Chains A and B, each alone.
Chain A
Amino acid sequence: MIDQKNVDRVIKRHRDFWKRPPTDRPLLGFPFQWEHGLGTKLGLKKGPLTPDMLDPELFVTFYEDGIKEGGLFEGDLLRVANCQRLPWAESRPDGSIRHRSARAASIPWSPAIMGCEVEVSSDSLWTKPLPPGQAPTDLTTLGENPWLAKAIEITGVLNRKFGKTYPTCPPDVLGPADMLAAILGTEQMCLDMIDNPAKIKSLVGLCTDVWLGVHEKFKPLEIEFRGGHCESRFQLWAPGVTTVTQDDCAIFFSPKRYDEFLTPVNRRTFASSPYSIMHAHTGAAHTFEAILSIPELGAMQVHLDPNGPSVAEMIPTLVKIQRMGKPLIIFKEFKLTELETLLDGLRPEGLCIMAISASEKAALEFMQRLIEEKK
């Protein structure tokens, strides 16, 4: 059973995250760490994954189990049902079956839609660049794309099943830079930036068209939750449709090339929905200024990389994002002292902290210690 009063309280906090009125504390979430030996658990053979191998019912049972066991909340964040992570069935000692999933089992939907072959390896799912001569999917062929059809089918099943009691959303569509790297291969993309910039410009435009086209195709499902919409990446609710642009491959673009190739398309992705989130890494901090210069940007999400600058070193950059009036989401496997540095250095308004934990138990212990330290 979902406690409706609690839902109202959480939704209010999420609404405030976007509006940023004075608040006592930031949003706090504790997503769990990845699973090992994933390929075996998924029951899939190493090799290609095709859309016909994905059964919507598997996703439904996974979320049914999840609601029974964990309810709707992960800290202040919402569990959102979608077809992003591939679940697997696990037998328990009492003979019953439990469905589980993990971050590394993330299905690379948009590279697959673009035409890339998806591979299952021992620890994750990944895609191969398009073979030479194969044209990427464009808007003229998007309508009959089997991967997109499958994503819409599963999302529709989840939405009909859980309806208004449990939020649903489409899967991740990445962002133009990451889609480009997926179809060309990262190294080729880098070489083309210098050898053939016109090709990069045209392909990044095509990726953006497909990105927008894919979001458009989910609209007829009329997904809605409590008068607003959710996204699954950062598990946030917003009063309107929220899109996430993933910009992992920004690391390969110099500030000049970022401005030339990606700023124009970021403007298009941000402007396409009332609430947008940019997912960026500290490894690509040299691109933050360009991203923040786009007025249509909704919120910035910064992933603090394990080998990047320390939390203390990042505070001035993060403060700058807050000063520009953008809601900020921070993602990292924190030590307690680092979390304190963050809480001391930043304003709680429009702030969401996602502290990765090894397990549900570790997350609870961490939260408990944080509360005690703060007393």
Chain B
Amino acid sequence: MKVLEQISASVINGDAAGTVQLTRQALDAGLSADEILNEGLIAGLSEVGRRMESKTFFIPEVLVAARAMKAAEDVLKPVLVSNCVKPTGRVVLATVEGDVHDIGKNLVKLMLECAGFEVTDLGVNVPAASIIRAVSETRPNIIGLSALLTTTVVRMKEVIEDLKRNDLRSQVKIIVGGAAVTRDYAEQIGADAYSPDCTDAAKRAKELVQTN
């Protein structure tokens, strides 16, 4: 098996130590950080996403795969930064105020990063004002909002209204998701996209930057 395939397999198996070791080995063999990232790590994680969609993998498998990928990324980061690869786009991601559910959001972050996005994760329980501040500061292409509670989905509408008030709405696309959000609701509040899961979220985000 070629080393890149081995890296993918090791991500799929959630073997962090193995993934780090193989990544080092690949760098030593002269493979580019880009190649290792795209054809090794990301290829592995994409397969994890597919297996989750087909219900052969469950959230624990995804989390250990993500852990393996993160560990290897730390090895690659210094090399990647010096090569300066251009991201697909920038996303500001947050779970809205009053809501502390973040497993889904974290998976979305992972898949977005996998699709080449640079993600600023504001965390959970994030007030609209902090989202507005982050938009002004980082000028993202997209804002991703997550909510799992019926009581907190309304916060998404508040964020959109605050963006309008601050003349920022036309500068960013908004994608929403989380168990309490429906496609109808997303349309109703004027979001640009809705996605029911993390693999679809990455596809929608790519479409959003392409139409921009």
Contact = CB atoms under 8 A, between A and B. Distances in A.
Interface string B138-160: 00000000000111101000000
Contacts of A123: 97-99, 149, 151-152
Given A122-B97, A186-B103, A307 B181 contact: yes
Contacts of B99: 123
Interface in B181-205: 181-182, 196
Given A122-B97, A190-B59, A194-B61, A307 B196 contact: yes
B71 interface: no
A306 B61 CA distance: 25
B180 A306 contact: yes
B14 A104 contact: no
Given A36-B151, A38-B151, A190-B63, A307 B103 contact: no
Contacts of A38: 151
Contact of A121 (B103, B125, B179): B125
A290 B137 CA distance: 50
A190 B179 contact: no
A109 to B, nearest CB: 19
A193 B100 contact: no
Contacts of A253: 58
Contacts of B206: none
Contact of A124 (B60, B64, B106, B149): B149
Given A191-B64, A194-B64, A252-B60, A286 B181 contact: no
Q: Which of A36, A121, A122, A123 has the most C-beta atoms of chain B within 10 angstroms of its own C-beta? A: A123
Given A34-B151, A186-B103, A190-B63, A254 B98 contact: no
Interface string A238-274: 0000000000000111100100000000000000000
A305 B151 contact: no
Contacts, number: 64
Interface string B44-81: 00000000000100111101100100000000000000
Nearest to A39: B98
Interface string A294-307: 00000000000111
A325 to B, nearest CB: 28
Contact of B154 (A36, A186, A193, A194): A36
A190 B14 CA distance: 12
B193 to A, nearest CB: 15
A94 interface: no
Given A122-B97, A306-B180, A191 B63 contact: yes
Contacts of A216: none
A306 B179 contact: yes
Interface residues of A, number: 28
A283 interface: yes
Contacts of A286: 55
A87 B51 CA distance: 45
Contacts of A191: 60, 63-64, 67
Nearest to B55: A286
Contact residues of B: prevailing secondary structure: loop
Given A36-B154, A306-B182, A252 B149 contact: no
Nearest to B106: A187
A137 interface: no
Nearest to A104: B151
A61 interface: no
Nearest to B180: A306
A195 B64 CA distance: 9
A122 B182 contact: no
Contacts of B181: 306-307
A34 to B, nearest CB: 5
A144 to B, nearest CB: 30
Nearest to A126: B100
Nearest to A186: B103
Nearest to A308: B179
Contacts of B103: 186-187
Interface of B: 14, 55, 58-61, 63-64, 67, 97-100, 103, 106, 125, 149-152, 154, 179-182, 196
27 contacts: A34-B151, A35-B151, A38-B151, A104-B149, A104-B151, A121-B100, A122-B98, A123-B99, A123-B149, A124-B98, A124-B149, A186-B103, A187-B103, A190-B63, A191-B60, A191-B63, A191-B67, A194-B60, A194-B64, A251-B59, A252-B60, A286-B55, A305-B179, A306-B179, A306-B182, A307-B179, A307-B181
Interface of A: 33-36, 38, 104, 121-124, 126, 186-187, 190-191, 193-195, 251-254, 257, 283, 286, 305-307
The 8 closest A-B CB pairs, nearest first, are: A123-B98, A190-B60, A254-B58, A123-B151, A122-B98, A193-B60, A190-B63, A34-B151
Given A104-B150, A124-B151, A187-B106, 17 more contacts: A33-B150, A35-B151, A104-B151, A123-B98, A123-B99, A123-B152, A187-B63, A194-B14, A252-B58, A252-B60, A254-B58, A254-B60, A257-B58, A305-B179, A306-B181, A307-B182, A307-B196
